[in-house]
A and B are shown apart, each in its own frame.
Chain A
Amino acid sequence: MAKVIVVTSGKGGVGKTTTSASIAAGMALEGYKTVAIDFDVGLRNLDLVMGCERRVVYDLVSVVKGEASLRQALIRDKRVENLHILPASQTRDKEALDLEGVGRVVKELGTMGFDYVVCDSPAGIEKGAQLAMYYADEAIVVTNPEVSSVRDSDRILGLLDAKTQRAIEGREPIKTHLLVTRYSPARAASGEMLSVDDILELLGIELLGVIPESQAVLNASNQGAPVVLESETDAGGAYLDVVKRFVGEALPHRFLEPEKRGFFSRFFSPSPRSAFAG
């Protein structure tokens, strides 16, 4: 059975597609047979970030509609073995996707021997985002260190708890992970941005990792390569850590803030502390 991971956020432009590309590529580097699915019908971004936009013939909608087989639509990455992309359509209507159709695709990917299915969600909390999360086993909630993004992530966490197949069937709830992206420790320290601590305080879920604000992300996406493939860069290295943590390696968090020594002892202290009392 493939493990289905949704990368979601509520708010737009926070780094879902960047993350989906790097998580999928990183999983494949780790030896897992992985496919990244672009659920952002009408916008189509994932293929650009992954550098396969010229090889798109069929897409998720054509498979759901039965116009192409899954094998025809899947694009095999040229750099990383085990990595596949199921692109979105730029021309089709968002309404073309339905729950049953997506369910069939996810199931078939499982029978094809995929270990991980990474679903790149569109922004928002409406139908498109709900379709992308419906079959997920785990969710990576991408958050930027600003109030509106954190609030949206909170809403998305509510939907993950209520509107997914696992929730509706009363199965074990989706496992949720927090990924803080575009983080700048210095700006958090000066109070210009929320700190990781502030974000965890509100969302109360496990921290999967912190990706620093980095020029490397822009460079990589302009070249059509997931930044994780440039693991010597700060953001690339951070994404590789995230992938390794996801598959079970215990790695310390980086890019939090050098002088912020007491972070863990504070966050994991047993007594609830007040944001206003101290």
Chain B
Amino acid sequence: MSAAPQRAKAGAEKIEVIVSAVLPLNDLVTRFEFKRKDGNRFPTFSAGAHTVVHMRDGDRQRLNPYSLMSDPADTETYAISVRRDDEGRGGSLFMHNNVKVGDAMEITYPVNLFSLDLRAKKHVFLAGGIGITPFMAMIAQLERSSDSWELHYSVRTEALGTYVDQLVSKYPNKVRIYYDDQSQSINLENLLDGQPLGTNVYVCGPKGMIDWVHKTAAAAGWPDANVHSEEFTAPQPGKEFQVRLCRSEKTITVGENESLLEAMEREGVDAPFLCRGGACGQCETNVVSSDGEFIHRDHWLEPDEHGNKIMPCVSRFIGKSLEIDR
């Protein structure tokens, strides 16, 4: 325990927003803009950051991360661009089919897992399809600080080239577009070869493209630290599960979008905590019995403890039954 632990929600704080614009850009991609419901400014974000959009789809809550693609200097409006994914889990379909101007939604504070290395002498961006979004913000940020950058952007067809016109007309000398249907492709070996010392490369696109960039750069002798890719960690929540609290003599259900710790608190069980982030060890709880699989997300337990302990602030369980000593 430390000083005055606060029972605040884990992870990023939420912001209530109103949808201020819905702009279809082409057959697949639509841009959504948000204003704050309370009329205040948004927190500033750094280029590369994403926000997690909370969607209320009937009695389900969907949480999808999207890169913030507006100018980081603009704290009046946040913008995201959403590609309709007809096969995905449904978040993007919900955005396309259900979200209208004036709707109230919740988004999280920005989180950046794809930040610019500000020591770089030059930034080279490699985008594939909807992977263009974080670069829109990065370009705005670097233009402001007059830093050096170039963009190589690969799209399927002219009709599906999201933001192509805008980019090409504003930065004709820094942007190059490659059309799949015209058999154009980025010549990565050449491109990497000509770069000045201290250049950093950033890739955002399909997984195959990301792997290809890492492999090609490594083969060309680039240090790993100079090659960045966007990796969305899966949103923290997971599947609903049940747990028996043997000391409190209660069986509770942990919902999709809450932690085991939060579920215990909701049920009035006094469970210890401090960091709510898997690091401090305070919430460590003994497992009495289990039939299933743990999803350990903490930084605390040693691997040999994974069968008989759980950190309820971040970790979860999938399976038949779980009983813990709380």
Question: Do A and B bind?
Answer: no
Interface residues of A (CB under 8 A from B): none
Interface residues of B (CB under 8 A from A): none
